[in-house]
Amino acid sequence: MPEAVIVAAARSPIGRANKGHLVDMRPDDLAAYVVSQVMQRVPQLQAGMVDDLLCGCGLPGGEQGFNLGRVVSILSGLNAPGCTVNRYCSSSLATTRMAAHAIRAGEGDVFLSVGVECVSRFGNGTGTISRAKNPEACDETAAFWLFTA
C-alpha cells in the first residue's frame, strides 16, 4: 500500500477581517497564489502530474463559490480536477485526510490539499445570507437557519 507524505506546504498571512493588505484580494486569487508558491517549492513536480486539487472552504458562496477547488486549479495553472469540501470547521483538514486516503487506495499519486476563507470578502456577490429551510431536513414548525441577515 502506498504511503502518503506531505512534500511541501505554504500559507498566506493571517489578518483581521475587513482590515490589512489582503482585504481587497479575492479568495480564489489568494488560494491560487499560494498553490503556485507550493508548486515552485517542488520543481520536479509538473502541473500535469497533479491528480486532484481538494479545497476546503467553510462558507463557499459568492467569490468563494462555483466549485472553488476547480477555480483555484485553473487560476494556478494546474488545470487539474478540483472539488470543494465544506464542513464549517476543519474543511481543509478534511481535504488532507481525503488526499491521504486516495493515495493509500491507489487512486493517484499527487493531490493538493488547499483551504481558503476570506471573511472580509464574504458579502461580495453572495446571495446565501438568508433564511434557508430544506423541507426534507426539518418539519414545518422547525426553524433551520443557515445565516441570519
Q: pLDDT digits over 89-116, tens only?
A: 899 999 999 999 999 999 999 999 999 9
Say which residue, 118 or 110, is predicted with more confidence. 110
By the 10 Å C-beta count (0-12 exposed, 13-18 middle, 19+ buried), 11 is classed as exposed
> Domain spans of the chain?
27-40+47-121
Single out the residue of 51, 44, 70 nearest to residue 4, CA to CA: 51
Q: How far is CA 22 from CA 13, 18, 53, 62, in A?
A: 9, 9, 23, 17
Taking the CA atoms of the chain, what radius of gyration do you get in angstroms? 17
Confidence of residue 133 (pLDDT cuts 50, 70, 90): very low
Residue 134 has pLDDT above 80, yes or no: no
Residue 82 has pLDDT above 60, yes or no: yes
Edge-to-edge order in the sheet of strand 52-56: 82-85, 52-56, 111-115
pTM greater than 0.75: yes
Confidence of residue 126 (pLDDT cuts 50, 70, 90): low
CATH superfamily, with its number, for domain 27-40+47-121: Thiolase/Chalcone synthase (3.40.47.10)
Q: Look at residue 130 in the predicted model and tell me its pLDDT.
A: 37
Q: Look at residue 77 in the predicted model and tell me its pLDDT.
A: 92
Pairing state between β 111-115 and 82-85: unpaired
Q: pLDDT digits over 9-63, tens only?
A: 999 988 777 888 888 888 899 999 999 999 999 999 999 999 999 999 988 877 8
Confidence of residue 128 (pLDDT cuts 50, 70, 90): very low
